[in-house]
Every structure is written in C-alpha cells, then in structure tokens.
C-alpha cells in the first residue's frame, strides 16, 4: 500500500488574488474548485474564471474536483444547477468530478480528497 503526500495551496478566490494564481500552477496534479452553492449572483463569474483557468498550459491533465460547498443550507443550488451553471459538460480537457460538501460539518471532504488521489494515481508513474 502506498502512502501519498499532498501539497495543498488555498489561494483564495477574491478578484484581487486571482493574478497570483499562476504562481501555483507548476507540477499541479489536481485542482479543487470550491463553489458557494448559495451564491447564485456570482456563479457566472465562477464559470468564466474556471473555464479560463483550465486553458492554462501548466494545468493540462490536472484532475478537477468541484466542491459544491454549503449544500447543507436551505435554498442552495442543486448539484444539477451547479453542473449546468458551470457548464461542466463542456469540460473535456480535464477529468472532473462534482461533490456536495459542507466545510462546517466536514461532509464529503475526505471523500473528495480520496477521489483526487485516486484520479491522480491513474496518470502518475509510481516507481
């Protein structure tokens, strides 16, 4: 059984920080994109940023996990609504997976990281 070490960077999504994202692209095997499932006003901006980011050459081949956060809040977007709003079906350049989660309760956080590791393992050569 192999053990894996993950280097995880939380680079933040605020517009003022987005210009710094490129500093973290080198040797990226997976991208975890966290969506606020209660924020319908910014979902279009979220889609545009995500699709623009996936054009980056240094992210080619990286796994993409979309964490739909705050799904425990009444009135949040459904998984299907997020899938549609982010145009995930149009993403063919990256293996992706969407998973409902809650940062407050921890729901599905371990499952999401397990998916990231399993998907990355399919593409990595282990010696």
Considering only CA atoms, which of 28, 98, 90, 21 is closest in space to residue 61? 28
The annotation status of 28 as a binding-site residue, yes or no, is: no
Domain that holds residue 95: 29-104
For the chain, how many structural domains are there in total? 1
The annotation status of 70 as a binding-site residue, yes or no, is: yes
Q: Write down the pTM of the prediction.
A: 0.87
The annotation status of 107 as a binding-site residue, yes or no, is: no
Query: Rounded to 5 degrees, what angle do the CA atoms 63, 27, 8 make?
Result: 70
How do residues 71-123 score in pLDDT, each as one tens digit? 999 999 999 999 999 999 999 989 999 999 999 999 999 999 999 988 888 87
* Token reading at 105: 């309760």
The rounded distance, in Å, linking the Cα atoms of 66 and 87 is: 12
Residue 100 in domain: yes
Domain holding 41: CATH number? Answer: 3.40.50.300
Residue 93 in domain: yes
Residue 12 in domain: no
Residue 46 in domain: yes
Residue 122 in domain: no
Q: Is 14 annotated in the active site? A: yes
What contacts 24+ positions apart, CB below 8 Å, involve 15-24? 18/49, 21/53, 22/56, 22/58
Answer yes or no: is pLDDT of 6 > 80. Answer: no
Residue 66 in domain: yes
Q: Mean pLDDT, to the nearest integer, of 4-26? A: 67
Q: What number of other Cβ atoms are within 10 A of residue 30's Cβ?
A: 21
């Amino acid at each position: 059984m192999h053990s894996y070490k993950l280097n995880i960077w939380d680079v933040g999504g605020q517009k003022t920080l987005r210009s710094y994202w490129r500093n973290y692209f080198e040797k990226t095997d997976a991208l975890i994109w966290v969506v606020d499932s209660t924020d319908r006003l910014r979902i279009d901006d979220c889609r545009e940023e995500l699709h623009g980011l996936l054009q980056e050459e240094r992210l080619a081949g990286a796994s993409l996990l979309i964490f739909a956060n705050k799904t425990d809040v009444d009135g949040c977007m459904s998984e299907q609504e997020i899938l549609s709003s982010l145009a995930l079906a149009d993403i063919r350049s990256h293996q992706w997976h969407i998973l409902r989660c809650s940062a407050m309760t921890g729901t599905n956080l371990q499952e999401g990281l397990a998916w990231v590791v399993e998907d990355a393992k399919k593409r990595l050569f282990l010696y």
